[in-house]
Structure 1
Amino acid sequence: MESGTLTDSQAGLHPDDDLRTQILDAARHLMVSDGYSSLSMRRIARKIGYSATSIYLHFSGKDDLFYTLIDEGMERLNRYLEEASRVNASADNVLRAICNAFVEFGLTNPEYYEVMFVLHPDTGSRYPAPKYRKARRNIAIIASALEKGIAEERFVIGDVALTANTIWATLHGVVTLIIAQRIDKTLQRNRLVTGTIEIIIAGISNPNLKSS
């Protein structure tokens, strides 16, 4: 080994990390392009140039791959939302930042987004409870912004959990339509996103709050 060259272990890398990443990338692409039911370990193996046996050393089957991709996507989304939630601003602007971050994540990572929120296998094991609890952290970030707005008397909300999920569902609809290229061609994408977020905020804003 040449002087100054780091081994994988010295660099903090596992020798199998690259193969695992290749497997997940190939599985994600095949799921989105051909559907979950068409996915097989053999197809993934052909795509990355390894044997199916090599894939089984990392993943027990299709469900394991699918749920790992969802988990990775949720972690990525969480980073987007966490960063947005740290903005030093009033609750309405924090919520704007979070909503914009959600949309940005979906449009920047369309394959992850489809695996996380659109694909629905006809058969498969139940989504693991620990992973589901981790996924709910993203809804909790929206809920925290709503609670901040209530504390500031900027928002009037009866049910925070319901409102947080409704906001998520509304943003999901916008992202899904844009990814699928199903929005009205006469409507600019940025205008749709901004307009949707402003309608969300207007719907929960305190009508008695005087603008400063």
Structure 2
Amino acid sequence: MGIKERKERHKEDLKAKILEAAKKLFVKEGYEATSIRKIAAEIEFSPTTIYLYYKDKTDIAYALHQEGFSLLRERLSALIYVEQPFERLKAMGRAYIQFALDHPDFYELMFIMKEPMEYLQAHHPEEDWPEGERVFDGLIQTVEACQKAGYFVDMNTAEVAMLSWSVVHGLCSLHITSHFKHIAEKCSSYALPEHEALLESIFQTYIRLLDGLK
């Protein structure tokens, strides 16, 4: 490996360390309480070093936002080979939920924190939301295929897609923020499943509702 390659690898390794430290602090301490100085201290570098790679804290948050969407797209793209569209729609919902369970820190940055979207609006106001659009496009295409197969035939494609996204996002958000756990443990009069089974049970109810729209 030449000097140029070693320098490039060192640069990428350092950027990865910065992002990992920032992600940890954003989730643990909150975005507002996390400073560039704290991120630098976490990886034992000076704040000046971080500024060589990122303009500010929102730039770091948006970089993490992009990384998270890359991971999510990898999971969803594997489902393109599920031939039956309604089965693919169900599989997409499951994959989305599993991503949130496996990566709650990324999920919070991608779909709950407002700062990455504020960065996009402030620095690239002329652009759309490319990360979200790529995921949503796949969902739109799957809903369209479902409609050709006889599902949701009298419904607006984009609205069905948005409804599907909203439902699974709501499930993930309630689970990550422990609202499900609180309901399951404290509100026994509702006869809900145990906390560990609650997410799956509600997802199954949602699927039955979708299936009834055929």
Both structures adopt the same fold (TM-score exceeding 0.5) = yes
TM category, shorter: 0.7 to 0.9
- Matched letter for residue 209 of structure 2: G
* TM, length-normalised to structure 2: 0.82
Give the CA RMSD over aligned residues.
2.6
Q: Which runs of 5+ in 2 are unaligned?
A: 186-191
- Matched letter for residue 150 of structure 2: E
Aligned 1:60-75 pairs, distance under 5 A: 60-75=55-70
Matched, 1:53 2:59: no
> Which deviates the most, 71-80 or 188-197?
188-197
Q: Is the 8 A contact 1:85 1:95 kept in 2?
A: no
Identity %: 26
Residues 1:135 and 1:44: Cα distance change in structure 2 (over 3 Å): same
SS at match of 2:101: helix
SS at match of 2:144: helix
The Cα shift of 1:50 comes to 0.5
Aligned pair count reads 201
* TM, length-normalised to structure 1: 0.83
- Matched letter for residue 86 of structure 1: Y
Question: Larger % of helix: which?
Answer: 2
Flag the structure with more relative contact order, 1 or 2, with Cα contacts below 8 A and sequence separation at least 6.
1
Residues 1:93 and 1:39: Cα distance change in structure 2 (over 3 Å): same
User: Quick one: distance in 1 between partners of 2:62 and 2:128?
Assistant: 8
- Matched letter for residue 40 of structure 1: S
- Runs of 4+ in structure 1 off by over 6 angstroms are 8-11
Aligned 1:106-145 pairs, distance under 5 A: 106-121=100-115, 124-125=118-119, 126=121, 128=124, 130=127, 132-145=129-142
SS at match of 2:28: helix
Could you report, residue by residue, the CA deviation over 1:60-113 in whole angstroms, capped at 9, with x for unpaired residues? 10111111111111111111111123223x222111110000001011001001
The Cα shift of 1:57 comes to 0.8
Q: Which residue of 1 aligns with 2:161?
A: 164
> Which deviates the most, 24-33 or 137-146?
137-146
- Matched letter for residue 11 of structure 2: D
Q: Is the 8 A contact 2:175 2:199 kept in 1?
A: no
Q: Is the 8 A contact 1:155 1:205 kept in 2?
A: no
Residues 1:165 and 1:119: Cα distance change in structure 2 (over 3 Å): same
